[in-house]
Amino acid sequence: MHGTEMRKLPGFVGGTLDRVDHIRTNAALLAESFANPAARLLLLDGLDPVEADGHLLLEPLPHDARIEDHVLLGIDPAGRPIFARLIADLGPGLFPTPRSRAIVDLVPAEEVGLYGTARSLVHWHARHRFCSVCGAATESVKAGWSRKCGECGAEHFPRTDPVVIMLAEHRGRVLLGRQHSWPAGRYSALAGFVEPGETIEEAVARELHEEAGVRVHDVRYVMSQPWPFPSSLMIACFAEADDEALTLDPTEIEDAFWCDADGVRAALAGDPDAPFLPPPPMAVAWHLLDRWLATVVPADASA
């Protein structure tokens, strides 16, 4: 287990690959990397990771492997080109499974990051086999980091969807909410997708007002987390609320409340009497709460 290591970073953070853009766009260098005896294939079971003895399984490329059926994830610190095999049809296997989430506690952080990259890319290829411009079939190009339409020539790139996740703070308390589908007692930071034409700060303010009726100012970036289900980038922020009045959107939020530092501290410590069940340490929301606690003066601190 790598629990102590995992707690330092959210899940899927900590990748160490050199992404070698210069190889992706050079057919000769790509062929050389694919033929390299040190090259390795990251094994996937559909979109799920394959792990043994605390590490992801990497194997030599099969002798009959075709370069066009693979994506070059990058070069690892040992100098090995790492590939993943593209899958034309994943069927119903596009959704996260318990195994795809649990991998964060089973392998080192850099391997979790490797899996996240592979999962997002393989998923994207499986869902973008046809051109969004003309509807014709597309093919993988640039070592799997692009798809090109054979009919109209349009080029399509893997997408990353920005999501803001934020803690509104007011007079030593933070706003926590829960979705209808979450386990009983679980609360977390509010979150939502950034919309076209919006800054991160504007998205934070809009989402907090839409979901909880809270007006905020002084939005501050804290950290980010790639979230490969399928391909989001969680952008964690703090914001100062103008007041504590709440008007919840019941279609988005089942409940919300303001929690003080003692309550947050108890929740992160796993206290059974804590006022809420926190998100797991793999989630950037857990780290956002932990970072917030570090800014709060302990209740027993002397003047």
Kindly report, residue by residue over 132-154, the tens digit of the pLDDT.
999 999 999 999 999 999 999 99
In a domain, 65, yes or no: yes
Q: Which domain holds residue 42?
A: 3-129
Query: What global pTM score does this model have?
Result: 0.93
Percent of the chain clearing pLDDT 70 (strictly above): 94
Question: Rounded CA gap, 181 and 236, in Å?
Answer: 22
pLDDT given for residue 30 in this prediction: 98
Count: domains in the chain: 2
In a domain, 245, yes or no: yes
Section 272-281 average pLDDT: 97
pLDDT given for residue 246 in this prediction: 98
pLDDT given for residue 300 in this prediction: 53
Q: Are residues 287 and 165 in the same domain?
A: yes
Q: Are residues 79 and 168 in the same domain?
A: no
Q: Comparing C-alpha atoms, which of 148, 116, 146 is closest to residue 133?
A: 148
Question: Rounded CA gap, 141 and 156, in Å?
Answer: 10
Q: pLDDT digits over 72-98, tens only? A: 999 999 999 999 999 987 776 667 899
Q: pLDDT digits over 43-80, tens only? A: 999 999 999 999 999 999 999 999 999 999 999 999 99
Q: Is the pLDDT of residue 181 over 50?
A: yes
Q: Are residues 123 and 179 in the same domain?
A: no
Q: Are residues 54 and 171 in the same domain?
A: no
Q: Are residues 184 and 264 in the same domain?
A: yes
Q: Are residues 45 and 111 in the same domain?
A: yes
Contact criterion met (CB below 8 Å) for 248 and 255: yes
In a domain, 149, yes or no: no
Q: pLDDT digits over 12-37, tens only? A: 999 999 999 999 999 999 999 999 99
Q: Are residues 191 and 120 in the same domain?
A: no
